[in-house]
Structure 1
Amino acid sequence: MAERTTDGLRERKKADTRRALSDAALTLAFENGVDQVTREAIANLAGVSLRTFNNYFTGKYEALAYRQVERLRRGIDELRARPAGEPLWTSVTEAMLAPLESDLADIPGDGDDAPSRAELAEIRKMLMNPEIRSAISKDLFDEWVQVIAERSGTDPARDMYPRLVAAVMGAVGDAAMEAYATADPPVAITTLYRQGMAAVAAGLPEPRPVGAEHA
């Protein structure tokens, strides 16, 4: 029992160190831009050695992507825990957003801590950076496909449907992130994602032209 407790504490410490390094990488990216972030600077800000950084991440891009990767993994568990009779698009929306909303709730603030325009611009650059995007492995996408197949009663090896759903989720996430980075005034990313997923669930009805309601 004591050995199990020790193992649990060790794993929790590793997870805390990994999060601290990722948060340090994101802080530096906001302050100086992604191109100026180095492994040494990340380690220094997190208060660990470069060797420790190298034990956790292969490079700065993996550290920058870690928080998103972690949320995606937690989202898989969330999807498996959703009510069995719940509509699929509701389930995948809530599963995707639950980890993000949990993380946002843990951020201290007075409710008036919207990102600055400079931070939004940097967020957009990071989101579109191919090296950061490639840090999210294909294996993780395949895990989402598998759990969507389980929820929808489809076969991921034979049916295209679960892959389409996973791909659409990613596309909505990209669109919401880009809208988030350019919205003026800022709009919560969770609001944008919900709007995008609701539009998909409704079959993406063609929007009415501006002013049509007054015609």
Structure 2
Amino acid sequence: MAPADEARITGQLGLRERKKRQTRVALSQAAIRLCVLNGWADVTIEQIAAEANVSVRTFRNYFASKAEAIAASHLERMLRIADDLLARPVGEPLWDSLLHAVLGQFVPQDNSAPQNERWREGVRLMLAEPALAGEIVKANAAAQQELAKAVAQCTGTDAERDVYPKLVAAVVAAGSAVAVEHSLRADEAAPLGAVLSQVFEQLAAGLPVP
């Protein structure tokens, strides 16, 4: 195969994968939006597909259930955190890089995400759904594996043989989850960015880079 032909095919595959990823994200975000605003029990796969402007068949090509669709957003966000971590300046302290990467994905810079009490209550109810718990666990396992690879690359460790990158990835996932839960359940609205900063400050003090 000529180099030009190989490059063209590689480009097509890359574009196809990006479009598939965009469709996954659109379906996942539609599922979250509808379930938060309308309640878990009142949302169907048909409604999610319509909200994302795709067919039900397309939905089923990507996800087996609305729980799996919602959990996909968690995996996607953690994948972006891993990408952002690798893009941070060389020599920046690891926990500073992680905080920047996490804040960039958890705290919208354009303030476009709904933050009113109705939205917060809807998120709390959605996250309490038993059907979602198992899918979140699976998505989190995959997310930690990818984040561990990025941490290993940043710290010169091995994601397969060394404990440190796996430990950091697990702690980042757990710390982020704690911050989200605290922000959602606080008696007074607690800005997620401030809670995340507090969490990562404490993590950095107890997990020095080897």
Aligned: 1:154 with 2:157 = yes
Q: Is the 8 A contact 1:62 1:135 kept in 2?
A: no
Aligned: 1:77 with 2:83 = yes
Q: CA RMSD in A?
A: 2.8
TM-score, scaled to structure 1 = 0.77
Q: Tell me which of the two structures has the higher relative contact order, counting C-alpha pairs closer than 8 angstroms and 6 or more residues apart.
A: 2
Distance in 1 (CA, whole Å) between partners of 2:21 and 2:154 is 29
Corresponding residue to 1:169 among 165, 168, 172? 172
TM-score, scaled to structure 2 = 0.79
Q: 1:156 Cα shift?
A: 3.2
Q: 1:173 Cα shift?
A: 1.0
Q: 1:108 Cα shift?
A: 4.0
Distance in 2 (CA, whole Å) between partners of 1:32 and 1:79 is 35
Distance in 2 (CA, whole Å) between partners of 1:171 and 1:11 is 29
Q: Is the 8 A contact 2:40 2:126 kept in 1?
A: yes
> Sequence identity, in percent?
40
2:206 aligned counterpart, secondary structure: coil
CA offset digits 1:44-77 (Å, max 9, x no partner) = 3333221011122222112112222212111111
Instruction: Tell me how many residue pairs correspond in the alignment.
Output: 198
CA offset digits 1:182-204 (Å, max 9, x no partner) = 12331222221111001221239
1:142 aligned counterpart, secondary structure: helix
Gaps of at least 5 residues in structure 1 are 205-215
Distance in 2 (CA, whole Å) between partners of 1:94 and 1:136 is 22
Q: Is the 8 A contact 2:144 2:173 kept in 1?
A: no
CA offset digits 1:87-118 (Å, max 9, x no partner) = 111111212222334xx235648xxx5221x4
Q: Is the 8 A contact 1:149 1:155 kept in 2?
A: yes
